[in-house]
Structure 1
Amino acid sequence: MALTPDQQRAFRGFLTLSTLLDDALDAQLRRDSGLTHSQYRILFRLSEAPERTIGMRRLGVLAHSEQSRLSHAITAMERRGWVRRVRSPTNPDRRAVSVVLTDAGMEVVRSAAPRHSDEAHRLLFDALDAEHLSNLNAVIDRILPHMADLGLDLPSPEEDPIMWEGRSDPGPADRTQAG
């Protein structure tokens, strides 16, 4: 089905916004913290996880990273002492691996977070008043359940309580902590 002109405009605008935001946040993190945006997403997700540990497969979903790219990033961060791999404590498959955020990695997140947050504010939220922000959240509230209904894997309310605050969990596709 072809997109209508309004749908084309919205879709292209959304993709451009998403790409520009990701690129600008990546540049800020590289400049200020020596991290890529994908590394920050991995470290950030680990920093909020119980015992700062997540299975590799689930971490890939939460950090929006394909497994080969995730494995490469984890290897690089292991060399810097920010994370370590361990046999998954919750998965009976002996090959399952979890990633643990070290104290050094936690300090990297704590150090990077304020400037990263400032940049997100500058790029996105400075352009929105309270009504715009409410409208943005209303759009997200419509799209998240739709994507869950289509079988896309979303972070659970336990994995991302801030994202879900005030929202209804659309229900798990198959959200396991298996790793």
Structure 2
Amino acid sequence: MTLTPDEQRAFRGFLTLSMLLDDALDVQLRRDSGLTHSQYMILFRLSEAPEKTIGMRRLVVLAHSEQSRLSHAVTVMEGRGWVRRVKSSDGSDRRAVSVMLTEAGMDLVRAAAPRHSTEAQRLIFDALDADDLAHLNSVIDRVLPHMSALGLDLPSPQEDPTMWDGRVDPRAE
């Protein structure tokens, strides 16, 4: 199946926007906090998790990473004292490992978050009015359940309550 010209335009625009946003946020985080965007995503996800701990397998999904990249990032962050590996509380697999955010890591997230939010505001939301924002949320409201129905693993409402605020998780139906 071939994309229509309008679909092709939207798809390419979305991909370009996504890549530019990721790159710009990476630059901002490196400059202001000494973190990569992927490190920030790991620390951020851990900061919102119960007991500041997530199993490595689940963290792969939540941090939008690959197992080998995540393992390398955790090793680097562990060396800096931001996280530590702990035995998973899930007794079904004795080899399972979780990652726990340390106080130093939590302090880093707290320090980085305001400037990161300001950059997101500058890059995206300064260009949108209230109607645009409502429309963007409407599109996301349709695409997230569709992707979930196709089998993509999304953060649950418990894992990302802010993203799901006002949205219906199709897995609950």
Band the TM-score falls in, shorter-chain normalisation: over 0.9
Q: What RMSD over aligned residues (CA atoms) do the two structures have, in Å?
A: 0.7
Higher RCO (CA-CA < 8 Å; seq separation 6+): 1
Deviation at 1:90, TM superposition (A): 2.0
How far apart in 1 are the matches of 2:84 and 2:124? Answer: 34
2:153 corresponds to 1:165: no
How far apart in 2 are the matches of 1:129 and 1:156? Answer: 29
Residue in 1 aligned with 2:2? 2
- Partner SS for 2:70: helix
Give the total of aligned pairs.
Answer: 172
- Partner SS for 1:163: helix
- Partner SS for 1:171: helix
Residue identity (%):
78
Listed as ranges, the matches of 1:11-90 within 5 Å are 11-90=11-90
Unaligned runs of 5+ in 2: none
Listed as ranges, the matches of 1:120-159 within 5 Å are 120-159=120-159
How far apart in 1 are the matches of 2:108 and 2:90? Answer: 27
How far apart in 2 are the matches of 1:27 and 1:71? Answer: 22
How far apart in 2 are the matches of 1:165 and 1:146? Answer: 17
How far apart in 2 are the matches of 1:5 and 1:91? Answer: 52
Residue in 2 aligned with 1:176? none
Structure 1 runs (4+) deviating above 2 angstroms are none
Matched to 2:14, the amino acid is F
Deviation at 1:91, TM superposition (A): 4.1
Unaligned runs of 5+ in 1: 173-179
Residue in 2 aligned with 1:175? none
TM-score by length of 2: 0.98
Listed as ranges, the matches of 1:88-99 within 5 Å are 88-99=88-99
Deviation at 1:170, TM superposition (A): 1.3
How far apart in 2 are the matches of 1:158 and 1:91? Answer: 21
How far apart in 2 are the matches of 1:33 and 1:91? Answer: 37
